[in-house]
Chains A and B, each alone.
Chain A
């Protein structure tokens, strides 16, 4: 829809063509990314536990996910932050699926933040930290609406209502469910989490203790 309306706008007002083309490019790439990640989640679910896992630096994955999300964040007026500098042990994951999960989640939360009109006050942070359960990596936006109960309810409501996360997002939030589906194929899932007192959604990833990245 963005693409169609932008194209129409540039036809109505040729002087806006440059910006329109830029926006069309971003919208197209966002849409393709979402579709790709959805297909990946279906393929991963079909293949079950056969995904090839490797030692993965979560910080690097978050860094790449942030880079991929940057154009969409800019388009929606959402500030992205990255807190992944600490030395974190590698995890055993399917790198592509893990990054796709963070990107899908990121798109959903970017759209959600923008739909509350609170973008200036609420940056979206990609972050990782250690907990006693493992490496916790995810996206945090400080919205108090992200509670365990609300998240559980949204998972039950998915497919049955138009807005499973109505207090957080005006949209269906498909990216959240795609992210969760991808993570489930790697024996983990999305959970409500806190990072430096900020609420968000994250995955607990078991560290690979045999190998330490320098």
Chain B
């Protein structure tokens, strides 16, 4: 099972996601801010990152920029689940995918827990 770095400032939602992931057999590290998430990844390299873009102080995009400059983290899939609807960043999707290494982008209010669990499983199971 996978070690998930969950970058989510909404505490009740983070708790729900974490509970679902733990019940599915994963371990979860919840961080509310981009900076603490970088430190968390340094302490314990995650198998996957679930990322909200709207964070305090430094956005999820800054996190992506930083995270993707480290060779040792290049292979780690990052799934964005965000309050920012996909269509509002439509012109940036190519950039997000190709330059910032986002594996997939989901609009959070429409992402069910069952889908999230399936995404994590698919992204972290060796093919």
Q: When A and B assemble into the complex, do they touch directly, with CB atoms less than 8 Å apart?
A: yes
Which of A50-58, A94-102, A161-169, A193-201 contacts its partner?
Answer: A161-169
B11→A76 contact, CB < 8 A: yes
Residues in chain A near residue B32, CB distance under 8 A: 114-117, 170
* Residue of B9, B17, B31 contacting most chain A CB atoms (<10 Å): B9
Closest B residue, CB atoms, query A163 = B54
B112 touches A77 (CB 8 A): no
Q: Which residue of B lies closest to A23 (CB)?
A: B12
Bound Cα distance from A145 to B16, whole angstroms:
29
The listed residue (A12, A27, A115) touching B23 by CB distance below 8 A is A12
Task: Kindly supply a per-residue 1/0 record for chain B positions 82-114, scoring 1 wherever the CB is within 8 Å of any chain A CB and 0 otherwise.
Answer: 011000000000000000000000001100111
A167 and B57 contact, CB distance less than 8 A: yes
**Cβ B113 vs Cβ A9 within 8 A:** yes
Task: For A5, list chain B residues within 8 Å (CB).
Answer: 13, 16-17, 113
* In the complex, per-residue mask of B1-22: 1 if CB is within 8 Å of any chain A CB, else 0: 0000000011111001101100
Chain A residues with CB under 8 A of B41? none
Known A1-B108, A5-B13: A16·B19 in contact at CB below 8 Å: yes
With A8-B112, A8-B114, A162-B84 given, is the CB distance from A115 to B55 under 8 Å? yes
Select one of B16, B56, B109, B113 contacting A116, CB under 8 A. B56
Q: Are B10 and A115 in contact (CB-based, < 8 A)?
A: yes
Task: For B14, give the chain A residue with the smallest CB separation.
Answer: A114
Query: Knowing A116-B32, A117-B33 touch, does A2 contact B114 (C-beta < 8 A)?
Result: no
A6 interface contact, C-beta 8 A? yes
Most buried by B among A5, A6, A12, A23: A5
Residues of chain A contacted by B114 (CB below 8 angstroms): 8, 12
Cβ–Cβ < 8 Å partners of B11 in chain A: 75-77, 114-115, 119
* Cβ-based interface call for B47 (8 A): no
CA distance A73 to B10 in the complex (A): 13
CB distance from B43 to the nearest CB of A (A): 15
Residues from chain B with Cβ under 8 Å of A170 in the complex: 9-10, 32, 52, 54-56
Q: Does any Cβ of B come within 8 Å of A13's Cβ? A: yes
Measured CB to CB, the closest approach of chain A to B66, in angstroms, equals 17
Contact B33 A13 (CB under 8 A): no
Interface string of A2-44 (1 = CB under 8 A from B): 1011101100110010000001000100000000000000000
Known: A12-B20, A12-B23, A166-B57. 19 other contacts (CB 8 A): A2-B13, A5-B16, A8-B112, A9-B16, A9-B20, A9-B113, A13-B19, A23-B12, A27-B12, A111-B10, A114-B9, A114-B10, A115-B32, A116-B33, A116-B56, A117-B32, A117-B33, A170-B9, A170-B52
9 closest residue pairs by CB, A with B: A115-B9, A117-B32, A170-B9, A114-B11, A5-B16, A8-B113, A76-B11, A170-B56, A170-B54
